[in-house]
Every structure is written in C-alpha cells, then in structure tokens.
A and B are shown apart, each in its own frame.
Chain A
Amino acid sequence: MTCAVRIRGLEKRFPRVQALRGVDLDIEQGEFFALLGPNGAGKTTLISILAGLTRATAGTAEVMGHDVVRHYRQARRNLGVVPQELVFDPFFTVRESLEFQAGYFGLKRDDAWIDELLSHLALLDKADTNTRRLSGGMKRRVLVAQALVHRPPVIVLDEPTAGVDVELRQSLWAFIHQLNARGHTILLTTHYLEEAETLCQRVAMLKEGHIVALDSTANLLQSGAERHLELVLDGELPDFLQARLRGREAGRYLLALPDYAELEGILAGLRQAGVGVRDLTVGKPDLESVFLKVMREAAP
C-alpha cells in the first residue's frame, strides 16, 4: 500500500540555520502519528515542506505517493493542514471562508458537507459571523474545518490545541479520533505529550533536524524510562535499599523499580527491618519522561 507520507533524505537549510538534516520517515495510511520535539527541532519546517509552503534543500517528500514538488496538485489535494498560527481573513464570514477554501481545491459548492463540518466543530451558529469576531478557540476550529473541507485522506495538525480550553480540546480530539477511525491518516505535532501518548500509535522525536526516536508509543514507553517506586517511611531507609535510591525530597524516597516482581521483596525487607510504610506510589514511565530522556541522551 502507498504510504500516506513518505520522506527521504529531507534537508532544509535556511540562511542561518539548518532546520532539517536528512530525515527519513514513512507514515502508513490510517496511522495516528505524532511528531514531537522541542522548539526549533524542525517540526514545522517538515510540515511546511509537505504542504508546499517551504521548498526542501535536498531530499523528497510524498503525500499518498505524489511528490510535493513535481506533482504538487495531487499532493495538495490529498493533504489538509491546520496551521499553527491563528490566521483568518477578516473580510469574510465562517461560511464564506469555507466555500472559498473548497473552491480553491476545485470543488463545486457543497453546502451539506460544510454544514456537517460546522456542526461537528460546534460552529453552526457562527456560520454567518465574520471570522474576526470569533474567539481564539473558534478561530482554531474554523481552521480545522478549512483543512477538512476538501476531504483530504491525510490531515496535518500543527499544535492544534495550543490555547484551546480543556473542554474544547476534548471535543476536538474526539472529532479527530473519529476522522482517524474513518480511515484518515493523522499527523500531529503537539507540546502536550500526554495528548500524544493517549492518541498516537506511533511517535517520531526530532532534535536539531534529526529523528532521534521513531517507534510505537507502547515500545517507547516500555524501553524508555524505568519504572520507579516512591515511598514515605516512618524511619530511615534501610541499607539494602540504598543501591536503588534515585532521589529524596521532602521525606519521599524515589527508588528504581525495573520490575514489578521486585516490589514484594522490597516490602518484605522493610517489614523485617521494622520500618513502616506510610505511603507508596508506583510511577509508570510516561511519554514526557521518555521524551526528556531521549532529548538528553540523543546525540544529534
């Protein structure tokens, strides 16, 4: 099957910085994929190249098998992009903006689809409002609608939830999840790592223009940071646990716990030593700790 996104040897040099230094990446159709990385890692540059807003210095990028430069018309028809900045055209209403956007993609007027999009994004009552009168969250949803108006199989969301309140964020994700379930490929960049962790099947981490980690979310979580045990004791930490000690703050001991099975031995040892346990937490590695670890350790 054709990859939804296929990137080979992608490089981008700006006059002062090299944003991408040879990126290879395949995203399968139907994936929910996250592209993570600190600011300046090259995420937006990569997305801009896919969208045809930026031209690569070297390498190729394809959307649904269409080269983004040589077959830009096909590539762009297959791609919907929600840009990072909250942009809008102050001359027009929500509905006009969507009608224009559909027209730019060569589509005939389709009011039913526009209404459906508006209702999914809770914008129906704002359809005839000028876009400049909308709140930030609404503007963001109009951008999502504009990106979907030509029914692209591949959808790119560049920081879609920045500045969107919790409730809206939830409904936005529910909608995007639905699109994914219907077969759309989703490529997402976000700073909210817990969002990526719960939503995305696969994750790529970018650092200074390189991909430094690329795996399924589950594998990354497994391999990444070690599990840990947090204890509050009514005495001093016994000697047999000193080797595990990773940190101590405000009476809480942070201990390494590579395997759950070791928990029993630890508790038995504490009982033997006559030290009582007041509080106990087992910390699972999350994407945030994996991310921080990868960023710290990866040699770009």
Chain B
Amino acid sequence: MIGFWTLFKKEILRFWKVLLQTVAAPILTAFLYLLIFAHVLAAHVQVYPGVGYTAFLMPGLVMMSVLQNTFANASSSLIQSKITGNIVFVLLPPLSYLEFFMAYVLAALVRGLVIGVGVLMVGLLFVDLHLRHPLWILMFGVGAGVVFSCIGMMAGIWAEKFDHLAGVQNFFIMPLTFLSGVFYSIHSLPDFWQGMSRFNPVFYMIDGFRYGFFGVADVDPRLSLAVVVPTALVASLLTLWMLRAGYKLRH
C-alpha cells in the first residue's frame, strides 16, 4: 500500500507544483467558452423548458473539462517520464500493475474533479444552477473521469513522442467531446446525426451528468449509466491488461 500511496502522492504533486498551467488554465478556458457562447446564444436558444442556455451549457463545460484534463494528466505524465527516461524510477520498484494503475488513474481523477469543481464554482457566479441529483452528478463525474484517465494512460503508454499524443488529443478526444452535446441538445440535430450521437459514449456521460443538474435529459439517465459504467470497466480492464503485459514499458 505504501508503494501505491507514494506513487499517487507523487502524481498529485507533479501537477500541483505547476498549478497555474494544470488547474487554473483549464478553468479559465472553460470560463471563456461560457462567456462567449452564453453571450452569443443565450437569447436565442432554450433547450429545456425553464432552463436558460447558459445554465444548460454549464454541466457540459464542467464535464468537458473533467474529460480533457483527466486525459491530459495521465497521458502527459507517462509520456514525459518515458521521453526523459525517468519512467525507470517507477519500473524498477516492486510496484504491482494494479498499484501503478490505481495511482495514475486516481491522480488524474483528482485533477479532473478539482478542475470540474473549479469550473462549476466560477459558473455559479454567473448562473443560477441547482444540483437536483448530486449523487448522479458524482457518479457520472467519476465514471467519465475514470474512462478518460484510462484512455490517457493507454495513450501515454502507446505514444512514442508528443506528436502521437497530440494526434490522439486532436483527432479523437476533441471530436468526441465537442460532438457529444456539450454545447447543444442532440434533439436539435437532424435525425442522422442524432442517431450517430448515440454511438458516442461521451454523449451519455454529458447527458447523464446534465440530468443530475436539471432532472431532465435527452435520454433516460439509467441508460446513460448503463453505458458509462461498462465503458469505465472495459477501459480499466484494457489499461490493466496493457500494464500487465508490460506493453511498450517493459520490452
């Protein structure tokens, strides 16, 4: 257990020491989205009855920040260690692959949730937001965070240079999150794209998360949970399998 705690602590300190870049910057980015989209769209769009666009946007932005930053934390920590070679410091000790997994995933999750809460706090200064079902909010926040921590770990292990990681970020993570209903309800889309959105697991993460705030959503939150939980399980198992096999870490 000491091994796990130490690695977890080290991973937390790693981003905590550069707080401005790893926590403050993403909160500011989300705030800018809020400012711009709310300014442009608030007067024109109402998605759910009684829910203003700015309020509607908030949970999406929080979730998007959680997803992007859990991914960023796990992936950048691993690629940096691999490229500078200091990954040996964690490969030489008798850490089990499970300890390794837990430490990286939980640290990424902590950063994601700290930023998520930060974005929410900033948002609350501008929008009146109720947390109808806090437990659902937490479940979706954690579930989605675990998925993207795992994807971040897998990408960090797989990538051999920063380019590879940027590729995953720009061609996989960004489209998945932007096209998942952060900024809109999928009911506003043409039938075809509405159907396509249902194949995007991120859609369920955001929709279920949003349900926690408003008590209404595009689909039944139980369906969303039934997508997010197994996705988190599969992502965890895949990551564990990679670690156990020593894929790209132990030749």
Enumerate chain A interface residues (CB-CB to B < 8 A): 14, 48, 51-55, 72-74, 76-77, 79, 81, 83, 85, 87-92, 96-97, 99-108, 146, 150
Which of A53, A79, A105 touches B250 (beta carbons < 8 Å)?
A53
Contact in complex: A89, B89 (CB < 8 Å): yes
Q: Provided the pairs A55-B246, A104-B6 are in contact, do residues A77 and B92 lie with their beta carbons within 8 angstroms?
A: no
Q: Which residue of A lies closest to B90 (CB)?
A: A104
Which of chain B's residues have a CB closer than 8 A to the CB of A91? 13-14, 17-18
Query: Could you say which interface size class chain B belongs to?
Result: 20 to 34
B175 on the interface (CB 8 Å rule)?
A: no
Q: Which residues of A contact B200 (CB under 8 A)?
A: none
B3: which of A52, A54, A81, A106 is its contact (CB, 8 Å)?
A: A106
The segment from B64-72, B80-88, B138-146 that touches chain A is B80-88
B171 to chain A, nearest CB (A): 28
Contact of A100 with B89 at beta-carbon distance under 8 Å, contacts A87-B84, A91-B17 already known? yes
Q: What residues of chain A lie closer than 8 Å to B18, measured between beta carbons?
A: 91
User: Cβ of A103 and Cβ of B6 under 8 Å apart?
Assistant: yes
Find out whether the CB atom of A83 lies under 8 angstroms from the CB atom of B94: no
Is B2 touching A107 in the complex (CB atoms < 8 A)?
yes
- Smallest CB separation, A94 vs chain B (Å): 13
Is the CB–CB distance between A51 and B251 below 8 Å? no
Contacts A52-B91, A53-B88, A87-B85: A104 and B13 contacting too (C-beta < 8 A)?
no
Do residues A51 and B86 form an inter-chain contact, with CB atoms below 8 A?
no
Per the bound structure, the CA–CA distance linking A53 and B88 in Å amounts to: 8
Known contacts A54-B250, A87-B86, A91-B17; A73/B6 CB under 8 A: no
Task: Tell me the complex Cα distance, A191–B1, Å.
Answer: 40
B93 A105 Cβ-Cβ under 8 A? yes
Residues of A within 8 A of B246 (CB): 55
B86 and A89 within 8 A (CB): yes
Contacts of B93 in A (CB 8 A): 76, 101, 104-105, 150
A-B contacts, 5 listed (Cβ < 8 Å): A53-B251, A81-B88, A97-B89, A103-B7, A104-B7
Please judge, given known A-B contacts A89-B86, A90-B84, whether A52 and B250 are in contact too, CB under 8 Å: yes
Name the contact of A76 in the complex, choosing from B1, B13, B17, B92 (C-beta under 8 A). Answer: B92
**Interface bits B82-109 vs A (CB < 8 Å: 1, else 0):** 0011101111111110000000000000
* Residue in A closest to B100 when the chains form the complex, CB atoms: A104
> Are B94 and A101 interface neighbours, CB within 8 A?
no
Residues of A within 8 A of B5 (CB): 103
| Known contacts A104-B7, A106-B2, A83 near B95 by CB under 8 Å | no
B10 at the binding interface (Cβ < 8 Å): yes
Given contacts A77-B94, A105-B94, A108-B2, contact A146 B85 (CB under 8 A): no
Question: Nearest CB to that of A55 among chain B residues?
Answer: B250
- Cβ distance B98 to chain A, nearest Cβ, rounded Å: 12
| Alpha-carbon distance A101/B141, docked complex (angstroms) | 32
Q: Closest CB of chain B to A242's CB: distance in Å?
A: 56
By beta carbon, the residue of chain B nearest A72 is B94
Chain A residues with Cβ below 8 Å from B6 are 99-100, 102-104
Set of chain A residues within 8 Å of B89, measured between Cβ atoms: 87, 89, 97, 100-101, 104, 146
Q: Residue-by-residue, is B17-35 near A (CB-CB < 8 Å gives 1, otherwise 0)?
A: 1100000000000000000
Partner of A55, one of B10, B86, B90, B251: B251
State the CA gap A96–B14 with chains docked (Å): 11
Shortest distance from the beta carbon of A58 to any chain B beta carbon, whole Å: 15
List residues 98-142 of chain B with CB under 8 A from any CB of chain A: none
CB-nearest residue of chain B to A45: B251
A97 contacts across to B, CB distance below 8 A: 89
Query: Is B94 a contact partner of A87 (Cβ separation < 8 A)?
Result: no
The 3 closest A-B pairs by CB, nearest first: A103-B6, A104-B93, A73-B94
B156 CB to closest chain A CB (Å) equals 16
Q: Are A100 and B10 in contact (CB under 8 A)?
A: yes
Shortest Cβ distance from A86 into B: residue? B85
Residues of A within 8 A of B14 (CB): 91
